[in-house]
Amino acid sequence: MNHSLKPWNTFGIDRHARQVVHAENAIQLLNVWQQATSENLPVLILGEGSNVLFLEDYSGVVLINRLKGIEVSELPDAWLLHVGAGENWHSLVKYTLEKGMPGLENLALIPGCTGSSPIQNIGAYGVELQRVCAYVDCIELSTGLQKRLSAEECRFGYRDSIFKHEYQDRYVIVAVGLKLAKAWHPVLSYGDLTRLDPQTVTPQQVFDAVCHMRITKLPDPKVNGNAGSFFKNPVINSTAAEKLLAAFPSAPHYPQADGSVKLAAGWLIDQCQLKGARVGGAMVHRHQALVLINEDNATSDDVVALARYVRQQVGEKFDVWLEPEVRFIGAQGEVNAVEVIA
């Protein structure tokens, strides 16, 4: 257990693993997985560790997916991109804009690798990955067989996909296919973007505005370890929403196509006056209540206790029970985060 995981989680939590291996290609990745499995060791595949909390030392092999490459082809109405799972997501967003292929600008500065993006169905400022995803290429770890899933087969939901369920430990994502329409339509429904003029705005202006919002509102993981938004924005049924909005008319809320209503977790936490709340070295960020930070050599126990406290406070005030967006990793692999903090 002498391999530090501190460089491999943006929370900066000091846990260890039996082994950490970088995989530059699919064959190497498969070989490492199959070797570890033959020794009955668990394997955790990571991109940049931007959405994980290590609860304890990991008893197996942490495999860093570094499969690179961006290939671009063209249709009359769209650009098609085939992107290696190990490519940095924000670098990809910048690359597409520089090449005159807009469509990803709302997703700027989301930390992590491209291969992680379908797992969470990453989203920000009114756009989710499923809007632009054409397919996901993965490999069945036990057999080495390649498989291409269409966007529909990925079963994307809010911060959810098939990769968090049946495919979780059986497949590794090796590439993501994106389809960016040439007829660009800006999405300006959130935050500072609502002030931009849809008739004249450029993709670069949307990108710049998104970067500005993220930099000014979210802490830099290099300064204060964090995993971005710690909790999902809760989605509640229409009856519960009516009751909540009657009591709190100013609550931000976003009606969904199925009649449910999405709430802003950050607002709920903020209404409980929890900005700056601390447990040990973990703290609720003073500017963005949705982010829990490693303020002062926090342990994972500190983060879990703080998350539990936040969930309890919000639950008691609003009867809305928050669920972590961050993946909790135990000694043998991922565990149910809600059960840990319930």
Which pLDDT does position 221 carry in this prediction?
84
For residues 59-67, average pLDDT: 95
DSSP label at 161? Answer: -
Closest CA to 232 of 329, 91, 341: 341
Mean pLDDT over all residues of the chain?
Answer: 95
Active site (annotated) includes residue 238: no
Closest CA to 233 of 257, 264, 275: 264
pTM above 0.85, yes or no: yes
Tokens 């300006």: give the residue: 188
For residues 264-272, average pLDDT: 97
Three-state secondary structure call for residue 129: helix
Q: What is the pLDDT of residues 310-335, one digit of tens each?
A: 999 999 999 999 999 999 999 999 99
> Confidence band (pLDDT; 50, 70, 90) for 63?
very high
Which pLDDT does position 191 carry in this prediction?
85
Tokens 């499923």: give the residue: 130
SS (HEC) of 209-248? HHHHHHHHHCCCCCCCEEEEECECCCEECHHHHHHHHHHC
Active site (annotated) includes residue 74: no
Q: What is the percentage of the chain residues whose pLDDT exceeds 70?
A: 100
Three-state secondary structure call for residue 5: coil
Active site (annotated) includes residue 325: yes
Catalytic residue among 116, 229, 295, 311: 229
Write down the number of H helices and E strands in the chain. Answer: 8, 21
**Burial code of 222-238, b = ≥16 C-beta within 10 A, e = fewer?**
eebbbbbbbbbbbbbee
Closest CA to 263 of 230, 241, 295, 281: 241
Catalytic residue among 50, 131, 325, 327: 325
Whether the per-residue pLDDT at 1 is higher than 90: the answer is no
For residues 282-308, average pLDDT: 96
Which pLDDT does position 149 carry in this prediction?
98
CA distance 222 to 225: 6
Beta-carbon count within 10 A of 325 CB: 19
For residues 13-20, average pLDDT: 95
For residues 81-99, average pLDDT: 97
Catalytic residue among 159, 214, 311, 327: 159
Which pLDDT does position 217 carry in this prediction?
85
Q: ∠ at Cα 9 (44, 102), nearest 5°?
A: 95
Which pLDDT does position 168 carry in this prediction?
87
Closest CA to 59 of 49, 44, 70: 44
Three-state secondary structure call for residue 83: strand
> Confidence band (pLDDT; 50, 70, 90) for 222?
confident
C-alpha 171: how far from its chain's center? 18
Whether the per-residue pLDDT at 220 is higher than 90: the answer is no
For residues 231-254, average pLDDT: 95
CA distance 33 to 172: 10
Using an 8 Å Cβ cutoff, are 14 and 296 in contact? no
